[in-house]
Each structure stands twice: as C-alpha cells, then as structure tokens.
Amino acid sequence: MADESPKKIELGVYQRPEDAPKITATEMIAAILSLVWLAMTAGYFMIVGTGTSEGGFDSIRFVMMIIAIFMPIAMIWVGALAVRASVTMREESRRLQAAISAMRQAYLSGQQGGSNATVEKKLEEIAAAQRKTESTLATFTSIRPGQTPAEDKLAIPAPALIEDQASLALGTPSESLAPPLSVADFIKAMNFPETAEDKEGFRALRRALSDRKVSQLIHAAQDVLTLLSQDGIYMDDLRPDRAKPEIWRRFAKGERGHAVASLGGVRDRSSLALASARMKQDAIFRDAVHHFLRKFDKTFAEFEQTATDEEIAALSDCRTARAFMLLGRVTGTFD
C-alpha cells in the first residue's frame, strides 16, 4: 500500500499531465477502419471481379471504382483530423485566455503617456510594498513563554479527543487507538507530499489518515484537487493574497460577509472561470466541492481554537487551503 500511494498522489494531483502522444486513439481507430475497408474492397473484387467489359478498358468505370474505394477512407481521416484539431483548439484557448488578458493590460499601459505612466508605476510600487507588508504581518506571531512546539502540539483540541476516547469499547478500530495528530503533521498532510520521494510528507499523510476527522477532510480535498487538475487548475500555480490570521479566526467563529471577504484572495481569472463553469455543469463536481467546503470549515474551526497565528498562516499557504479559497470564492462562501 505504501508503494501505491505515492504514485496515485503524484500523478493524480500535483504534476501536470505529460504531452499528448503523437498518435492518438482517434487516429488509431481511423487507421483500423481504413484497413478494414481496403480489405473488404479487395475481397469484393476477388470474389465478384472488376466487372469490366470484354470489349476493352472503360475509363469512366475505372474512375468510379477509384472514387468508391478511396472516398470513404478520405472521409474517415477528415473526421479524425477534425477531432484532433478540436482537442488542440480547446487546450490552446485556455492558454490564450491568459495571454489575451496580459496583452490587454500591456495595451492599456501603453496608452498612458508621460507623467501618467510615472504615477501609475509609483502606485504599483506602493501597492506591492503594501502587499509585502501585509504578507509579513500575516506570518508574524509573538513567542509566548512556555509555548508548545508544533511537533508536540495537538492539531485537534484535547476536549474533542477526550470525548472520542471516552466512547471506546471492546472491538475498537485501530485508527481510534492511533496517537493524536500533531499540528506539524496536520499542516504537512494538508499540503500533501511534494513528490514521490517526499518521505516526510507521506509519513505525515499516513498519520493524518489514521485520524478519523482529519482523514475525512483529506479524502475530500484529494477529490476536489483531482477534479480541478482535469481542467488544468493546479494549486501550485495560484498565488492568492494572504489574509491575516485574525480574519481566519473570524471565519472560524462563524463571521461571514465583508469581514472575511479577504479570504477569497485567489485572483486568477482563468481558474475562477473554469471552476465556476464546472460548478454549473457538473453535478458530481458540485457535490464534491460542497462536501469539501463543509469538512474544511468544521475541521478548521476546531484547529483554530488552539492554533497560533504562525500556525494558521502556515496552514493558509498549503494546497488544501488554496483550494478552499478558490472554491469558496466561486461558491460565494465569503460574500
């Protein structure tokens, strides 16, 4: 089982699919159909004969036979090439959308002349410095005397664990007897292993899967990450705006609306558009998203009770949290 998990996670979520083969399944089918048609044609002439008159060579009949033989083959390959061109155009349209947006911004910037361009550049520098300051503040936390290290601190508050353990009886499943999950392992598991060689990441993931509550969130997160990757949406490509830990705490305590709107910090319009369109068209994707959002909301509310600002900031930068910010904005969770 340990050998199968790395392959599944590596290929299903994190790495982009390899380039499409030069010969696709459609072209293989077209080649087979062409060979079948030629074989049938050859068999027909071997059994029935050419049908030419004894008087000599009939050029019109010969041309008609050539058309009857090769016209279906030509139509088969026209259809195969049309299918391949359609697939290629759909893939290119996704890339062109981002390129067009960048060209539009460059065009608008080029229309600004002289002092306007200078002022705009200064404003962009100020905005960048402000975002950098906010990111630094989001990760800043004070060190209190006697603070428990993340490796020893429990991810889920102790009362919840005591309540679960009090209900144990004979025949208790093995996962209920597993050691409590630490904050460090919880955050690593929420980010999932980086590669198939990430032994520390898989160790944390196995520990998290032994926790009944956290394992439900991990399975829900893996489902939505796999579905998003089918549309070319990868969490490593997203660079969301970082929200302060106090905003995350407000969300955990039940606040909604403008007070927590900064949690939807994903600005990638292509990813937002693709996810929003699939939410409307794919019922399976929609159910998986709502299930994931509920599990993340419930688990984070318990995690926040004992987590420090630094630990919340670290969790907000993992792949699972980025998926939550993307899908939460698409579904209007932060509105």
Write out the DSSP string of 242-288.
Answer: PPPHHHHHHHHTT--GGGGGGG-----HHHHHHHHHHHHH-HHHHHH
| Cα distance between the two ends of the chain | 42
Confidence of residue 261 (pLDDT cuts 50, 70, 90): confident
Q: Name the percent of the chain lying above pLDDT 90.
A: 19
Confidence of residue 5 (pLDDT cuts 50, 70, 90): very low
Please report the pLDDT score of residue 3 as a whole number: 47
Q: Please, are residues 292 and 225 in contact by the beta-carbon 8 Å criterion? A: no
In this structure, of 90-104, 170-184, 209-223, 230-244, the range with the lowest mean pLDDT score is 170-184
Q: Name the percent of the chain lying above pLDDT 70.
A: 69
Q: Which of 63-72, 123-132, 137-146, 152-161 has the highest mean pLDDT?
A: 63-72
Residue 76, C-beta contacts closer than 8 angstroms, at least 6 positions apart: 30, 33, 34, 37
Confidence of residue 284 (pLDDT cuts 50, 70, 90): very high
Residue 73, C-beta contacts closer than 8 angstroms, at least 6 positions apart: 34, 37, 38
171: its two tokens:
């025949």
Q: Please, are residues 185 and 204 in contact by the beta-carbon 8 Å criterion? A: yes
Nearest by Cα to 85 from 178, 142, 20: 20
Instruction: Quickly tell me which residue has 């936390």 as its tokens.
Output: 141
